[in-house]
């Protein structure tokens, strides 16, 4: 027991603990099912992206080159840059990105997630290849990364290929979708392994799809509090 707690609290907390144990077991079972998926579709082409070269200047890189030796999983998050045309949240207030029209700037929610994954990237690198891919020209992507202070994240531009359209990160009218895709390399063959398809699944009421919910420390932190998630609160590029 913790200091000052009532019998009523302890009884309710112990009951909740059993639910948490059940949830942990279910999460492990889902992860095992995910790992056991049959082989996914073969990637139709060796997509040509643009990213930062060894000296930081833009360079071309093939999808096959995103796999480091000994690391056969490639995780790609579709960074909404440009943002949704319906997103009116403020853009950056300084730097080259602040000079862009709002609709051509980065999505604040995507930026909030990538801020969190920036710290994770260094720890993931020994086992997994992780990239964020934007549709914006590579010069804009790299400029914003520098302005945001991202040093560990690896960012790419898909401005010159159909990767996003092919893997459900872009609609027919060019609108961006923040889906996450995982690929696996088997010898010289690259296959699609898994996508965060909860993005497209029906939700209960006005809840968020939570398609990458287990990756988000911020929202999971809110879930541990009495207040929980505020459905009307949104991430921002800056807070006053």
Does the pLDDT at position 19 exceed 90? yes
Residue 88 sits in a domain whose CATH number is: 3.40.30.10
CA distance to 110, 154, 213, per residue, from 72 (Å): 25, 17, 24
* Rounded percentage of the chain residues whose pLDDT exceeds 90: 96
Q: How far is CA 11 from the centre of its chain?
A: 38
pTM of the entire structure?
0.95
User: Could you tell me the maximum CA-CA distance found in the chain, to the nearest angstrom?
Assistant: 64
> Which structural domain, as residue segments, surrounds residue 144?
45-223
* Rounded percentage of the chain residues whose pLDDT exceeds 70: 100
Q: What is the pLDDT of residue 112?
A: 97
- Average pLDDT on 35-40 reads 98
Does the pLDDT at position 207 exceed 90? no
Span of 48-52, 130-134, 159-163, 236-240 with lowest mean pLDDT: 236-240
* Tens-place pLDDT, residues 66-96: 999 999 999 999 999 999 999 999 999 999 9
Q: What is the pLDDT of residue 65?
A: 98
Q: Is 38 within the bounds of a domain?
A: no
Q: Is 194 within the bounds of a domain?
A: yes
- Average pLDDT on 149-158 reads 97
Q: Is 32 within the bounds of a domain?
A: no
- Encoded tokens for 219: 């929202």
CA distance to 98, 120, 134, per residue, from 49 (Å): 25, 23, 10
**Number of domains observed in the structure of the chain:** 1
CA distance 179 to 195: 7
- Encoded tokens for 74: 């490639």
Q: Is 23 within the bounds of a domain?
A: no
Does the pLDDT at position 47 exceed 90? yes
* Tens-place pLDDT, residues 96-121: 999 999 999 999 999 999 999 999 99
- Average pLDDT on 137-150 reads 98
Q: What is the pLDDT of residue 205?
A: 85
Q: Which helix (H) or strand (E) holds 141?
A: helix 138-148
Q: What is the pLDDT of residue 74?
A: 98
Q: What is the pLDDT of residue 72?
A: 98
CA distance 26 to 6: 30
Q: Is 94 within the bounds of a domain?
A: yes
Does the pLDDT at position 206 exceed 90? no
CA distance 88 to 14: 44
Q: Is 22 within the bounds of a domain?
A: no
The region, left, alpha or beta by phi > 0 then psi within -120 to 50, assigned to residue 5 is beta
Mean pLDDT of the chain: 96
Q: Is 82 within the bounds of a domain?
A: yes
For CA atoms 6, 7, 8, 13, the dihedral sign is positive
Q: Is 154 within the bounds of a domain?
A: yes
- β-pairing, 155-157 vs 129-134, is parallel
Q: Which of the two residues, 231 and 22, has the higher pLDDT score?
A: 22
Q: What is the pLDDT of residue 86?
A: 94
- Average pLDDT on 176-196 reads 97
Does the pLDDT at position 180 exceed 90? yes
Q: What is the pLDDT of residue 183?
A: 98
Q: Which residues pair with 62 in a beta bridge?
A: 48
Q: What is the pLDDT of residue 119?
A: 94
């Amino acid at each position: 027991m913790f200091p000052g707690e009532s019998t009523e609290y302890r009884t309710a907390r112990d009951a909740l603990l059993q639910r948490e144990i059940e949830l942990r077991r279910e999460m492990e079972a889902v992860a095992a099912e995910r790992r056991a998926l049959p082989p996914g579709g073969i990637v139709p082409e060796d997509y040509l992206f643009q990213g930062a070269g060894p000296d930081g200047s833009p360079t071309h890189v093939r999808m096959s080159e995103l796999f480091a030796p000994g690391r056969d999983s490639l995780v790609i998050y579709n960074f909404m840059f440009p943002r949704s045309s319906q997103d009116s949240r403020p853009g950056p207030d300084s730097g080259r990105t602040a000079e862009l029209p709002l609709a051509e700037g980065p999505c604040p929610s995507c930026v909030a997630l990538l801020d969190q994954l920036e710290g994770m990237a260094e720890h993931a690198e020994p086992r997994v290849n992780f990239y964020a891919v934007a549709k914006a020209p590579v010069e804009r992507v790299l400029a914003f990364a520098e302005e945001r202070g991202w040093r560990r994240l690896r960012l790419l531009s898909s401005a010159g290929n159909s990767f996003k359209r092919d893997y459900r990160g872009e609609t027919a009218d060019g609108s961006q979708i923040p889906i996450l895709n995982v690929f696996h390399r088997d010898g010289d063959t690259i296959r699609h392994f898994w996508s965060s398809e909860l993005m497209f699944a029906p939700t209960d009421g006005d809840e968020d799809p939570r398609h990458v919910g287990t990756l988000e420390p911020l929202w999971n932190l809110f879930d541990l509090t009495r207040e929980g998630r505020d459905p009307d609160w949104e991430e921002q590029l800056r807070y006053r």
